[in-house]
Amino acid sequence: MSSQKRCKLIPAPRLITAVESPGPAVLIGGGGGIGWDMAEPPSLSGVALVKDNKLWKGVFAVSGIMSTLIVYGLLQEKLMRRPYGGKDYFEYSLFLVFCNRITTSAVSGAVLLGSKKVLDPVAPLKNYCWISISNIATTTCQYEALKYVSFPVQTLAKSAKMIPVMIWGSFIMQKKYHFQDYLITLMVTVGCFIFIFFPAAGDISPHNGKESTVWGVTLMIGYLGFDGFTSTFQDKLFKGYDMDIHNQIFYTTLCSCMLSFAGLILQGNLVKAIDFVFRHHDCFFDILLLSTVATASQFFISYTIRTFGALTFATIMTTRQLVSILLSCLFFAHPLGWLQFVGAVIVFGSLYAKTFLKKPSASQRPVDAASIPLTANSEQERR
């Protein structure tokens, strides 16, 4: 055929242009001619359903963590810093840990049995024990710190949760972070330093008179380190094993029950704590409510880490901590100095700036459900 002669194309019976469909174009032949067909377009309603499902999961996680942990914070301040019967202070932190964990273990075990989920340990028992040990250390440091620093100081220090999460994430999960992450971490550290070391003059510890800042800060550093390890190692277990939330909670809290009970026996505080509770019935009801909301919070925390990741969980906790500080100052009359206001603005401003201005990197995004083995009974947790 001459190069000057035009090639005549026979019109295809079915010709679809790219304007008619957003899908990728595919060259096809049919009816003796050449035409363009379009691949099946994705369902817009399906995309909207996924986004809506993710939104409601976020609302569920945020509201659950906020409600349970705010009540939990107010109750722990009342238990550790307010006298019962006008003069007696409750001083048995490990007993609170034991009550919280035995309640959580019983509920999670009942859920596993009732839903016929896997009751056998999915991961090696030593992995559950690592989480259990760090969780006991976290909670004990948290309770003990209230004897030396005020609840607002303790709570703002928790806003630095992202610091150990990043450290443990780099070490355990081999995650990479950007310069902006380290800058925000530095700002949070500066804000916490100002808030903690420049307290209002009238904030007095009921156990030791004037606030014992150094010992209280030491306990809070222990809290942050152990807590960062706990959430990061939980994240690692969820990614590495076909593990249901309730399975992890059951075995972790079961180990915590045994360890905390052994600790009470060795300290000789089990009988003393029970005697205190029998003498002060209002303390019994406070511990009962504390254990209830602590149990609920464990499920919300594990659900959030499983669905959104450890760093997202840390960001959600920021708002809860801000609200807890305001409510504590309102209910328990904690004075705040102007430098503490400056420190709080630096801390929460930095954390909220990170939330609203930065898109998560690939190493910090929540893990896709496809990369986490799921059982048929946990399909509702798929994101």
Span 357-371, pLDDT tens digits: 655 444 444 443 323
Res 27 pLDDT > 60: no
What distance in Å separates the CA atoms of residue 134 and residue 164, rounded to the nearest whole number?
Answer: 13
Beta bridge partners of 27: 36
Res 29 pLDDT > 70: no
CA distance between the termini of the chain = 59
Q: What's the angle, vertex CA 143, arms to CA 236 and CA 106, rounded to 5?
A: 60
DSSP 44-92: HHHHHHHHHHHHHHHHHHHHHHHHHHHHHHHHHHHHHHS-BTTTB----
What distance in Å separates the CA atoms of residue 168 and residue 165, rounded to the nearest whole number?
Answer: 5
With 0-12 / 13-18 / 19 or more C-beta atoms within 10 angstroms meaning exposed / middle / buried, residue 4 is exposed
- Assessment of whether the complete model's pTM goes beyond 0.85: no
Res 243 pLDDT > 50: yes
Who has greater pLDDT, 248 or 372?
248
Beta bridge partners of 29: 34
Residues 6+ apart with CB under 8 A from 71: 289, 293
Helices (H), the chain: 44-81, 93-114, 125-145, 151-158, 162-172, 179-197, 213-240, 245-267, 270-279, 281-308, 310-332, 338-357
Token duo for residue 74? 């107010």
Question: How high does pLDDT run on average in the chain?
Answer: 74
6: phi > 0 → left, psi -120 to 50 → alpha, else beta; which? beta
The reported pLDDT for the residue numbered 382 is 30
Share of the chain above pLDDT 70, in %: 73
Res 33 pLDDT > 70: no
What distance in Å separates the CA atoms of residue 321 and residue 36, rounded to the nearest whole number?
Answer: 58
Mind listing the pLDDT tens digit for each residue in 297-316?
A: 877 887 888 788 766 776 78
What residue spans define the domains of the chain? 61-370
- Greatest mean pLDDT among 160-174, 262-276, 294-308: 262-276
Res 147 pLDDT > 90: no
Token duo for residue 245? 């939330």
Res 23 pLDDT > 50: no
The reported pLDDT for the residue numbered 31 is 41
Share of the chain above pLDDT 90, in %: 14
With 0-12 / 13-18 / 19 or more C-beta atoms within 10 angstroms meaning exposed / middle / buried, residue 309 is buried
What distance in Å separates the CA atoms of residue 17 and residue 26, rounded to the nearest whole number?
Answer: 11
C-beta separation of 249 from 112 below 8 A = no
The reported pLDDT for the residue numbered 2 is 46
Residues 6+ apart with CB under 8 A from 188: 159, 160, 162, 163, 346, 347, 350, 351
Q: CA dist 77 to 51, 206, 234, 241, Å? A: 39, 11, 27, 37
Confidence label for 212 from pLDDT (cuts 50, 70 and 90): low
What distance in Å separates the CA atoms of residue 367 and residue 363, rounded to the nearest whole number?
Answer: 9
Average pLDDT over residues 225-251: 79
Average pLDDT over residues 124-149: 86
The reported pLDDT for the residue numbered 207 is 53
**Length, in residues, of the chain:** 383
Sign of CA dihedral 185, 186, 187, 193: positive
Backbone phi, then psi, for 201, in 5-degree steps? -65, -30
Token duo for residue 377? 């009974």
Lowest mean pLDDT among 179-183, 211-215, 261-265, 295-299: 211-215
Confidence label for 39 from pLDDT (cuts 50, 70 and 90): very low
- Greatest mean pLDDT among 191-205, 231-245, 250-264, 320-334: 250-264
C-beta separation of 71 from 293 below 8 A = yes
- Greatest mean pLDDT among 123-132, 134-143, 202-211, 371-380: 134-143
Closest CA to 126 of 39, 233, 221: 233
Res 262 pLDDT > 80: yes
Mind listing the pLDDT tens digit for each residue in 278-299?
A: 999 999 999 999 999 988 887 7
